[in-house]
Structure 1
Amino acid sequence: MAFVILGLIFIALKLLDVAPVAAWSWWWVLLPLALAFVWWEIIDPMFSISKKRAMNDMADRQKARRQKYRESLGLGGERRKK
């Protein structure tokens, strides 16, 4: 997401002719958008980064929900291990 934001900022600065970016080639201005594309289409699926993060978030929500239900039933905190 940072690459996309950086790319949009560079495009705005290029179109508004702001000092250092106005002198850059369009290739340099659009490079962050190309990097974002490479990240989302190649690197992220290859290493399943987003999928792992989503699964961890779902497991955390599930654990919190179970804990809330246990507390509402009056069973207290975590289970004791035998």
Structure 2
Amino acid sequence: MNEQDARAAVHAAIGQVAPDVDTEDLVETSRLRQDLELDSLDFLRLIETISQATGVDVPERDYTQVSTVKGLVEYVAAHG
């Protein structure tokens, strides 16, 4: 999967899990849990939504790599 497709999938998943987040103005360096205010359950739903949409499974050991919007986009692009 290329980075553009991965970005679209991540933005769509964030919009689905956190509809109050404006995905049009997402900053790539935004931290998912702190800046976007996703709690633990929201974060897990985001990971599950990404997995269902892209087929990319993010194991718990890789959660630190996907802690930002950019990190998640890059992870999905690299593994999708």
* TM-score normalised per structure 2: 0.21
Q: Between the two structures, name the one with larger relative contact order (CA 8 Å, sep ≥ 6).
A: 2
- Structure number with the higher helix fraction is 1
* TM-score normalised per structure 1: 0.21
If you compute each CA radius of gyration, which structure gives the higher value, 1 or 2? Answer: 1
